[in-house]
Amino acid sequence: MQTDSSFTFVLFGGTGDLSMRKILPALYEAHRAGMLAASGKIVAVARHEEDRDGYLRWVNEHVKAHVAKSGVDENAWTSFIARIEYVKLDLGNAEDFVKLRDALQDLPGTRVFYLATGPSLFVPICRALASVGLNEHARIVLEKPLGYDLRSSNAINDAVGEIFAEEQIYRIDHYLGKEPVQNLLALRFGNALFEPLWRREWVESIQITIAEELGVEARGDFYDNTGALRDMVQNHLLQLLSIVAMEPPHSMDSDSVRDEKLRVLRALKPIDPRDISKVAVRGQYHAGVIRGTSVPAYATEPGVKTDSATETFVALKVEIENWRWAGVPFFLRTGKRLADRVAEIVVNFRAVPHSALGASALRAGANRLVIRLQPNETIRLYCLAKKPGEGMNLSSVHLDLAFDQFFKEGQMEAYQRLLLDVINGRLALFVRRDEQEAAWKWVEPILNEWAASGKPKPYAAGTWGPAAASAMLAQHDTCWLEEEN
C-alpha cells in the first residue's frame, strides 16, 4: 500500500551510523515494496564535504550491507537512490540553513525532518529550521535519548515545543514498531480468549527482557555518561510495559492508545529510595567468554573511565497500582554482554486452584505466554497435555505463531513501519511528551540513589547478569525463563 501523499524526507546526520544501518535501509525496503509515493524525495544533510555523487558512493558502500536478508534488487536500488539528494550543512552557519530552505523549495509534499543526531543538537537544529521558516507544515522526528533526566528532557521538550506543535513531534521508540508488539494489541483486544485472563486474578507475574550479547562497541563515551537505566529502561522497557498493561482503548487512534499507556505509567508504584536495594539490581560486566570468544571488561572498553560506576545491567521489580494489576509483579531486565541476544515478554498465568491430575498441574509456569520480539519474532502459548502411554502423566506443550511461516507477506521492520507512519502522519506508535515525563519521574529516584551509592555488582560477560537479579525473583517463588529451562 502506497503512502497517502508525497513527501520530502530530510535526514540530519545523513552520514551517521543510524542512517546507514536503519533509516536508509528501511526507506529502501518501503520503496522496493511500492509503499512510497513516486514523487517522494530524500534529502540527506551532513557536514561532510561531498557532492551528490560522492554521497551516493558513500550510501552504496555503507547501506547495502544492512538491507533485508533477501538482498538488494539492483533495479529497485537504482530507482531508490534516484530519490536521494545531498546538502552539506554546518549547524553553526545560518547561511547553510538558507541554502537548505532553497534546496527544499521546489520539492514536493509534507516535509519530515529526521534528527538522527545527538540530543544536544535537537534544539539548535529546530531553532535554525524555524529561523528560515521550515517549521511550518512539517514533522520533526526525535531519536532517543531525549535528555539525561527529567529536567534536561523538559528543557528539550520546552524548546522544541516552542517551534513545533505537539502533533508535529514524533519521539521515536523503535520497539513500538516491532510486529509482535502490534500483535500483542491484536491478541489482547481482538480475542475473547485472552482479555478475560489479562488481569491480576489470572496472571501471577510478567517478565520483560531486552538482552544483548554486544558490549558498548564504539559508544563508550556516550554510554559511560548514560547507562542502562537511561538507555533502555526509561524508554524501551517502560513503553513495552505500558503496552502489556494498558486498558483497552476505545479506538486505535493515536491519542486513545497513548492515553491508556499514560495511565499505566502514572499508576506505577513510586520507588521509595529506602527500598531500592530490594527492587532494583544494577550490574557491570567484567571480562568473560561469549560463544567461545573472550571479551574485555566494561571498564577497559575504549572511552570508558577505568573507575566507572555506570551500570550495564538493570533488573527491576515494578508494581502497578490499579484494579487490573494490583499485587502482580512485573520484572524488567536489560543488559549488555549477556548470554544471548533476546527480547521477550513472558506472561506467567496462575496455576489451577486444585488439580485432580497431580502436582505438575499446579507448578508455576505451567501456563504461560511468551512473546518473542527478537531475534525470531514469535508468539508461543505453553499449556499442559497428557503424555502418550499409560497413566495420566502431564507434559508441557506449546502452540506457535511464527509470523514468517504463517503469513506469506514479508514482515515489515520496525523502522520501516515507523517511518511510513511519520510520512502518513500517524502518531499512535510514537511517544507523547506526557508519557515521557511520567517515565522520567518514575526512574529518577533510582538514578539519584545510584548516583549517591557504591559501584554496580559485577557479572561475567556471557552470563545472565548478577546473581542478585535471580535472588530478587526467588523472593516471589519464581525465576527468569532461561533459569527454568
Q: Is residue 310 part of a domain?
A: yes
Q: Which amino acid is at 79?
A: S
Answer yes or no: is 161 within a domain.
no
At residue 101, what is the residue type?
R
- pLDDT at position 454: 80
Q: What is the pLDDT of residue 324?
A: 97
User: Do 21 and 73 sit in the same domain of this protein?
Assistant: yes
Residue 411 falls within a domain, yes or no? yes
419 and 473 assigned to the same domain: yes
Residue 155 inside a domain? The answer is no
- Same domain for 295 and 382, yes or no, is yes
84, 118, 143 - which closes a domain: 143
Q: Which domain holds residue 73?
A: 7-143
Instruction: Specify the pLDDT at position 365.
Output: 65
- Tell whether 293 and 392 lie within a shared domain: yes
Please report, in range form, the residues annotated as the binding site. 47, 90-91, 144, 174, 178, 212, 231, 336
pLDDT reported for residue 336:
97
Question: For residue 148, is it within any domain?
Answer: no
Instruction: Report the C-alpha gap between 271 and 275 in whole angstroms.
Output: 7
Last residue of a domain, one of 143, 161, 185: 143
Cα–Cα distance, 23 to 413 (Å, whole number) = 11
What beta strand segments (E) does 48-124 contain?
Answer: 84-88, 110-115
Give the integer Cα–Cα distance in Å for 395 and 380. Answer: 16
Neighbours of 213 (CB within 10 A): 17
Question: In terms of domains, do 139 and 188 share one?
Answer: no
> Is the distance from CB of 12 to CB of 143 less than 8 angstroms?
no
Q: 136 and 227 share a domain? A: no
Q: How many domains does the chain have?
A: 2
CATH number reported for the structural domain that contains residue 400 in this entry: 3.30.360.10
Q: Which single residue is written with the C-alpha cell 497431580? A: 358
The secondary element (H helix, E strand) that includes residue 443 is helix 433-452
Here the cell at position 29 is 525496503
CA dist 470 to 280, 281, 297, 328, 475, Å?
12, 10, 22, 18, 9
State the CATH number of the domain containing residue 60: 3.40.50.720
For 367-419, write each residue's pLDDT tens digit. Answer: 899 999 888 888 888 888 777 877 777 777 878 877 667 666 667 889 999 99
Residue 66 maps to a domain: yes
One domain for residues 225 and 88: no
Interatomic CA distance for residues 274 and 9, integer angstroms: 48
DSSP string, 207-228: EEEEE-S---TT-HHHHHTTHH
Of 118, 143, 168, the domain-final residue: 143
Cα separation of 412 and 377, whole Å? Answer: 11
Residues 383 and 323 in one domain: yes
pLDDT of residue 18: 93
- Residue 170 forms part of a structural domain: no
Is the residue at 167 inside a domain? no
At residue 292, what is the residue type?
G
Task: Looking at the structure, tell me whether residues 138 and 217 fall in a common domain.
Answer: no
Residues whose CB is less than 8 angstroms from the CB of residue 349 and which lie 6 or more positions away in sequence, other chains included: 197, 202, 203, 204, 367, 368, 369
**Does 40 share its domain with 126?**
yes
Q: In terms of domains, do 185 and 315 share one?
A: yes
Active site residues: 236
pLDDT for the residue numbered 5: 73
203 DSSP β-pair partners? 349
Which DSSP category does 413 fall into?
Answer: P
C-alpha cell, 366: 505451567
pLDDT < 50 positions in the chain: 1
The whole model's pTM is what? 0.92
Residues 296 and 397 in one domain: yes
Query: What does the pLDDT look like over 172-221, one tens digit per residue?
Result: 999 999 888 888 888 888 888 888 899 999 999 999 999 999 999 888 89
Amino acid sitting at position 428: A
Residue 320 is given by DSSP the state B
Annotated binding site for NADP(+): 47, 90-91, 144
